[in-house]
A and B are shown apart, each in its own frame.
Chain A
Amino acid sequence: MRINDGSRPSTLRIARHQTGEQSLGSDELAKAASTLSALEAEKGRVPPFDWTLLTAAAHRVEEPRPRPSAPVRRWLWGLIPAMAMLLALVILRVPEGPNRSKGDVDLGFYLLRNGVVLPGDPDGPVQAGDRVQFTTHAGSHDRLVLLSMDGRGQLTVFYPETGEQPEAVIPGETHVLPGSIRLDDAPGPEIFVAFYGVDSVREAKERALWAWKEEGIAGLRELADEDPDVAILVLARR
């Protein structure tokens, strides 16, 4: 498939011609012949008209939410200072959990347990057999290395799957990383560390191993505390 450089009519224009909405010139018609015959043939594939089915579907169509009227908006403006104060209080009171989210980078997860997908709770215990799928926010970075350390100090690189080049991610967007991992029954917590913006897998591994060798989990936490481009997730097993 090659991008249309204007030398042929688009499918929309051909379809508008075929449905009588507009006409194509004779030179354009010659180029549209195959699409026109494909559209003609499509008539045999369309489900038959079913008024009952369509009206039932029409009732299910969601209406866009009505916009608040002007008086309500004015009323909301009055609430803004109170909401700001409430937000400030909440921010001050939220305890720091094992899900590290600081600066622009973040590491979160979904949990698949017994066929049900649950939003990941970094404070909730996980169990062997659970599947974990990560969400990341890379801030301004466009690459990531995500690895894990289990309770025995065994390091496994999950992203990238192979090779030395970090996994490419889109800066500024939150993503669900492809694939999931099944948690095994290794003793102790499962620790996941995301290194954003590193140049190689080796660099991430060396930094993680060094921190682990120094102080174990505490060393990894310290690494994440000190480096705004590192995020850590510590999942305790049930």
Chain B
Amino acid sequence: MQVPEQEIRALYQRYAHVVHYRARQILGSEEEAADAVQETFARVIRNYDSFRQESSPLTWMYRITTNYCLNRLRDRRGHARKHENHREELGGDGLTRVDFGAELDAKTLRQLVAGADEETRAILLHLYFDDMTREEAAKQVGISVPTLRKRLDAFFKVARRSFGVELAASLLLFWVLR
């Protein structure tokens, strides 16, 4: 079908900065945020017929951006593991040996998110980057709140051992379960 340029331009002016802001927060990179905007609007154009039926275009774009960002984080981790990490580096600031500080910062979060399974990645992203409540995050992912709690519980249990810093992970767990 013919997609009208003017309508896409109007959507871009209205929503692109939100997509950019969110992707930049999640990925921590201006360049990748720009890619996320391009990818999201490419999909808007590609699926314009169904997109027009959406009651909340932004929620639809959020879903696209979520998938895009999660894939980038996963690829980033996989790339680092396959090509860059050396045994000698693992004791330093490698992706899998995170030195948590007292604060859970965005960098640490990205590492946590990248290390989780697909569903838990989405949960962590919605809770921490989108500042959603547990109820909102569970709804976005399509699971119940108790299931969300279980997923996080299991994830942090493993993360606590993997990351080796009991205190910070316990703190995380406390935040999640309180």
Give the interface of A toward B (CB within 8 A).
1-6, 8, 10-12, 15-16, 18-22, 38-39, 42-43, 45-47, 49, 51, 53-55, 57-58, 60-61, 63, 110, 112, 117, 133, 142-143, 158, 161-162, 165, 167-170, 173, 176, 178-182
Contact B130 A12, beta carbon cutoff 8 Å: yes
Q: Could you give, for residues 66-79 of chain B, a 1 whenever the CB lies within 8 Å of some chain A CB and a 0 otherwise?
A: 00000000000010
- Looking at the assembled complex, report how far the CB atom of B165 sits from the nearest CB atom of chain A, in whole angstroms: 13
CA distance A35 to B131 in the complex (A): 11
Contact B78 A58, beta carbon cutoff 8 Å: no
CA distance A183 to B46 in the complex (A): 48
Contact flag A179-B16 (CB < 8 Å), given A10-B130, A165-B161, A170-B158: no
Interfacial chain A residues near B96, Cβ < 8 Å: 178-179
Interfacial chain A residues near B38, Cβ < 8 Å: 47, 53-54, 57
CA distance A179 to B87 in the complex (A): 6
Contact A49 B9, beta carbon cutoff 8 Å: yes
Closest 8 CB pairs between A and B? A168-B161, A57-B42, A178-B96, A58-B45, A42-B21, A42-B17, A58-B42, A10-B132
CA distance A55 to B42 in the complex (A): 7
- Looking at the assembled complex, report how far the CB atom of A17 sits from the nearest CB atom of chain B, in whole angstroms: 10
Contact A112 B37, beta carbon cutoff 8 Å: no
Contact A178 B81, beta carbon cutoff 8 Å: yes
**Residue B56 CB within 8 A of the other chain:** yes
Could you list some 15 contacts between A and B, CB below 8 A? A4-B127, A11-B22, A11-B130, A12-B136, A15-B18, A39-B21, A42-B24, A45-B20, A45-B24, A46-B37, A142-B158, A176-B82, A179-B81, A179-B85, A179-B90
Contact A178 B62, beta carbon cutoff 8 Å: no
Q: Which of B9, B17, B57, B58 contacts A51 (CB 8 A)?
A: B9
CA distance A38 to B136 in the complex (A): 22
Contact flag A39-B175 (CB < 8 Å), given A54-B42, A57-B42: no
**Residue B8 CB within 8 A of the other chain:** yes
CA distance A149 to B159 in the complex (A): 29
A-B contacts besides A5-B133, A54-B42, 20 pairs, CB < 8 Å: A4-B133, A6-B135, A12-B130, A16-B56, A18-B18, A21-B56, A51-B5, A53-B38, A55-B3, A57-B41, A58-B42, A60-B42, A61-B39, A61-B46, A112-B82, A162-B91, A178-B85, A178-B90, A180-B81, A180-B87
